[in-house]
């Protein structure tokens, strides 16, 4: 049987501290929004509008509940977790669907005040002005044009990485994905003083039938002895005093990407 997304979302909001009067209608509006996105937005390989995609939104909304009202917490969470995944052609249609889904519920009157907040829906008290200045300075140091759209993407990447253990940066070859990642890492170092370290790995460079074992490591079935791979060796050597990122640079292949779900 198909899981009841509305019931699951409602229960999750309850668990995060939402009131009974708000949790149910807000959860129903959120599920309706995802259903609309699945049918109205373009089809992209990295889009997911199912039950699994609801989890990060609900968790983020719970984290924001102490800083704003229940409806705005959910709106900010939606913008922070969904907006970074959208391709340019879907950004405006998504905003229209968001307003339609929540206004039909007659609970949220979004006056636009959540638009800017939602691009960085975190509770660490770092202002967007300070973030934007750090991103711009990091870009200028690398001779990169820090346009408003570029800065917005940098802020989104920072938010996603603060909310999740990993992120996928997609774009055409030469569009600046690696440079953006390095700029965000450098900007965060300038803000909090934690040294950033980025290791670039090309998963397909390991030409072998057992390249997944060379990448992630292997457990000997007989001796139960573990042997590190490239990725696990880098993780083991990472200093807890540094901000260490492992960046898999190349086409996303389920053969190795699925391993990251349990990393």
List, for residues 50-99, the tens digit of each pLDDT value.
888 898 899 888 888 887 888 888 988 898 888 888 888 998 899 889 88
Spatial CA neighbour of 197 closest among 234, 157, 152, 154: 234
Residue 140: per-residue pLDDT:
94
- pLDDT interval class at 204 (50, 70, 90): confident
Residue 184: per-residue pLDDT:
94
- pLDDT interval class at 117 (50, 70, 90): very low
- pLDDT interval class at 195 (50, 70, 90): very high
What gap in Å lies between CA 140 and CA 146, rounded to an integer? 7
- pLDDT interval class at 243 (50, 70, 90): very high
Structure-model confidence comparison of residues 205 and 90, the more confident one: 90
What is the secondary structure of 72-122 as a DSSP string? HHHHHHHHHHHGGG--HHHHHHHHHHHHHHHHTTTS----SHHHHHHTT--
Mean per-residue pLDDT, 204-213: 80
- Centre a 10 Å sphere on the Cβ of residue 103 and count the other Cβ atoms it contains: 13
Mean per-residue pLDDT, 234-258: 85
**Predicted model pTM:** 0.74
Residue 244 CB-density burial (10 A; 0-12 exposed, 13-18 middle, 19+ buried): middle
Residue 223: per-residue pLDDT:
92
pLDDT of 16 strictly over 60: yes
What gap in Å lies between CA 183 and CA 150, rounded to an integer? 11
Is the CB of residue 183 less than 8 Å from the CB of residue 143?
A: no
pLDDT tens, residue by residue, 149-194: 899 889 888 888 877 778 888 888 888 999 999 999 999 999 989 9
- pLDDT interval class at 263 (50, 70, 90): low
């Amino acid at each position: 049987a198909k899981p009841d997304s509305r019931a699951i979302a409602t229960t999750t909001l309850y668990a995060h501290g939402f009131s009974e009067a708000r949790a149910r209608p807000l959860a129903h509006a959120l599920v309706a929004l995802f259903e609309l996105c699945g049918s109205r937005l373009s089809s992209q390989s990295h889009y997911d509008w199912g039950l699994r995609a609801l989890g990060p939104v609900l968790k983020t909304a719970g984290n924001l509940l102490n800083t704003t009202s229940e409806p705005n917490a959910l709106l900010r969470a939606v913008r922070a977790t969904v907006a970074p995944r959208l391709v340019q052609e879907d950004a405006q249609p998504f905003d229209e669907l968001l307003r339609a889904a929540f206004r039909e519920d007659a609970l949220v009157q979004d006056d636009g005040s959540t638009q800017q907040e939602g691009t960085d829906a975190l509770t660490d008290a770092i202002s967007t002005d300070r973030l934007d200045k750090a991103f711009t300075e990091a870009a200028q140091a690398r001779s990169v044009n820090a346009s408003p759209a570029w800065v917005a993407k940098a802020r989104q990447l920072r938010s996603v990485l603060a909310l999740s253990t990993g992120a996928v940066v997609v774009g055409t070859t030469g569009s600046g994905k690696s440079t953006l990642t390095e700029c965000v890492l450098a900007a965060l170092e300038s803000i909090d003083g934690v040294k950033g370290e980025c290791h670039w790995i090309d998963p397909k460079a390991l030409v072998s039938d057992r390249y997944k074992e060379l990448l992630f490591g292997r457990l000997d079935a007989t001796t139960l002895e573990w042997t590190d791979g490239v990725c696990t060796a880098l993780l083991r050597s990472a200093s807890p005093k540094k901000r260490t990122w492992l960046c898999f640079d190349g086409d996303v292949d389920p053969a190795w990407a699925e391993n990251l779900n349990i990393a």
